[in-house]
Amino acid sequence: MNVVVFWALFQKLLPLYFYVFLGFIAGRFLGVGRESLAKLLLYLVVPLVFFLSILDAELTPARLGMPFVFLLAASIISIGFYNTLGRRWKSPDRNILSFMVGSGNTGYFGLPAIIALWGIERVSNAILVVFGYVIFEFTIGFYLTARGHHGVKDSIKRVLKLPALYAFFLGCGLNLWGVERGEFLTSINQTLTSVYSVLGLMVLGLGVSRARFNHFDWSFILTTVLVKFLVWPTLMATMIFFDRNYFHLYAHEDYQVLMLMSLVPLAANGVVIATELKAHPEKAAICILATTMIALFLIPALAPILF
């Protein structure tokens, strides 16, 4: 292991955990509720950040496919789990667990990790991967979670009400049309991106602050850890193998981004969505925190080998 690389990346990631801690303090000792904050993120901050970010991304045909690479991977893992191992849990545990194993914290965690490893120039590629996760989270993932309490028609209606999906496609359309962000929108995007990252991690801390010992389902936690850090990188390495040897769509730099994004912890949005749908957000928060703590050490340790 390259100790210098490990320590440099570890130091870059450590401040993210401070925001989680602030959320925990706010929830446990100040009585701050997560419901209003979750709605603020879900319906305002996330759609605006993603719309403004896609306007500035370099959209080549191959890179436009990057979101759908992760959408496909997340869907395979999530739906496959729901129909196999997920059967051992009852709803809504089965539903939120199926969502979480397909998710990834690419925005709040992945982007800072990309910058720490390779610099700001890789962010445009990483943004497209983030969109792939977001499409999954707010379509198939949201639908699977909603099915824990709602029927098929009601779940679909709830998905169609989410603004993040429309923001993504509107941003892509305007980008391809040649619309650029002005100075005013660029300034807003920089501020909102910071808000997005800080609030998202604080929601995770708020979720953990309400957890009690009876929320610690160890089989639940172990399952998410194994899927996140074993199944995900294996599937992504397989996809990269086929592209490198047969399709030749992406460069080595793209492979690095794809591989890192497969190793990020579970999505903090899992707490947001579980809160909105009343699907055991405390359990979700504990699993997300567990994978986040593991990723703090695992990604810096694997960086010299995989990247």
pLDDT digits (tens, 9 = 90+) for 228-282: 999 999 999 999 999 999 999 888 888 998 999 999 999 877 777 777 767 777 7
Q: Which long-range contacts (CB under 8 A, 24 or more apart) does 2-11 make?
A: 2/303, 2/304, 5/300, 5/303, 5/304, 6/300, 6/301, 6/303, 6/304, 7/300, 8/116, 9/113, 9/116, 9/117, 9/299, 9/300, 9/303, 10/296, 10/297, 10/300
Packing angle of the helix pair 232-242, 66-83 (nearest 10 deg): 130
Domain extent, residue 250, equals 3-306
pLDDT digits (tens, 9 = 90+) for 160-199: 787 887 888 898 889 888 888 888 888 888 888 788 878 8
- Cite the beta strand spans of the chain per DSSP E: none
Say if residues 268 and 200 touch (Cβ distance below 8 Å): yes
- Tell me the average pLDDT across 25-32: 88
- Tell me the average pLDDT across 15-21: 85
Say if residues 159 and 145 touch (Cβ distance below 8 Å): no
Q: Compute the distance between CA of residue 93 and CA of residue 122 in angstroms, rounded to an integer.
A: 37
Total domains, the chain: 1
Using the structure block, give the residue that is written with the tokens 């739906």.
Answer: 79
What pLDDT, on the 0 to 100 scale, is given for residue 201? 80
- Percent of the chain exceeding pLDDT 70 equals 93
Instruction: Kindly report the backbone phi and psi dihedral angles of residue 210, in degrees, each rounded to the nearest multiple of 5, phi listed first.
Output: -95, -5
What pLDDT, on the 0 to 100 scale, is given for residue 293? 87
- Of the listed ranges 69-83, 212-226, 250-264, the least confidently predicted one is 212-226
Confidence of residue 202 (pLDDT cuts 50, 70, 90): confident
Say if residues 257 and 126 touch (Cβ distance below 8 Å): yes
What pLDDT, on the 0 to 100 scale, is given for residue 149? 67
Residue 82 tokens read as 């729901």
- Tell me the average pLDDT across 26-46: 84
What pLDDT, on the 0 to 100 scale, is given for residue 164? 80
What pLDDT, on the 0 to 100 scale, is given for residue 38? 78
Q: Compute the distance between CA of residue 7 and CA of residue 271 in angstroms, rounded to an integer.
A: 29
What's the mean per-residue pLDDT of the chain? 82
- Confidence check: pLDDT of 101 > 80: yes
Q: What is residue 104's DSSP assignment? A: -
What pLDDT, on the 0 to 100 scale, is given for residue 305? 73
- Confidence check: pLDDT of 307 > 70: no
Instruction: Tell me how far the alpha carbon of residue 26 is from its chain's centroid.
Output: 23
- Tell me the average pLDDT across 93-105: 87
Confidence of residue 284 (pLDDT cuts 50, 70, 90): confident
CATH number at residue 268: 1.20.1530.20
